[in-house]
Amino acid sequence: MTDESSRTGRFAGQVAVVTGSTRGIGAGVAKRLAYEGASVIVTGRSREAGAATVADIEADGGEATFVRADMRDPDDIAALFDACVERFGGIDVLVNNAGVETNTAVDEATMDDWAFVVETDFRSFWLCAKAAAERMNEGAIVNTSSNHAFLTMPSMFPYNAVKAGINGMTRAMALDLGPRIRVNTVNPGWVAIDRTTDEMDPEYRQHLESIHPVGRLGRPADVAGAVAFLASDDAGFVTGTSLLVDGGRTAVMQDDALPDYRERRDTDE
């Protein structure tokens, strides 16, 4: 259940589409927007997972419906936004969140790897924004990128290149769609979701937590709160920007700096 303090009604009477919202960060965003009053279109490839997210939203008093769509299919994307207008009469908020990755290096990635990531994580953001803008009077778009847009790791190509590209795409969208539509990016860091932490060694997780200034990994709710802000009128003078939501991870130059510093400080005390 979402924290009661977040039930502000900021999105009352609004309609939101959240792509890739059957699990993880996307599901967290969908639940948060619904909790704040939005009617939400949950979308993804799994009907079962989509139904579960909708059920969670409805159990919390929100309104949502699931529309199956594969973000690699332009026809599915067009049908998604047609279904949104048919079901709710319009659209006010789009959260581009669908994403995949491959553990491949620049010299290892194949054309299939490239197409898989670029079509899902990048092209679909453009197509969804274009489709939403055609059906939106005024509103907001939030694109989900990553802290990999700023700092990265080996064997994360083309995911890291695409995430950097999303920041540039956001700036272009903000210029071309404004002033009618504001467009921003949220850049999450390490977030504890099934695919990142289910099989993680406890010792490694403890290490990861130790190199974050906030002392923990992120939660979907952390990202959802940032997305809700960027999509709301509270961010009415914010557009074309990228917001890091990474627990301060990109503020750390060396992985061992924080643990060693804290150990010394605790000893001195």
The catalytic residue positions are 159
Nearest to 194 by CA among 166, 224, 219, 162: 219
Say how far apart CA 57 and CA 25 lie, in whole Å.
14
Check if the beta carbon of residue 213 is closer than 8 Å to that of residue 251: yes
What is the Cα 162 distance to its own chain's centre? 14
Segments of the chain assigned E as strands: 15-18, 39-44, 63-68, 93-96, 139-144, 181-188, 242-245
Q: Across-strand partners of 16?
A: 40, 93
| The token pair that represents 134 in the structure block | 């055609």
Count H helices, E strands: the chain?
A: 10, 7
Say how far apart CA 143 and CA 201 lie, in whole Å.
31
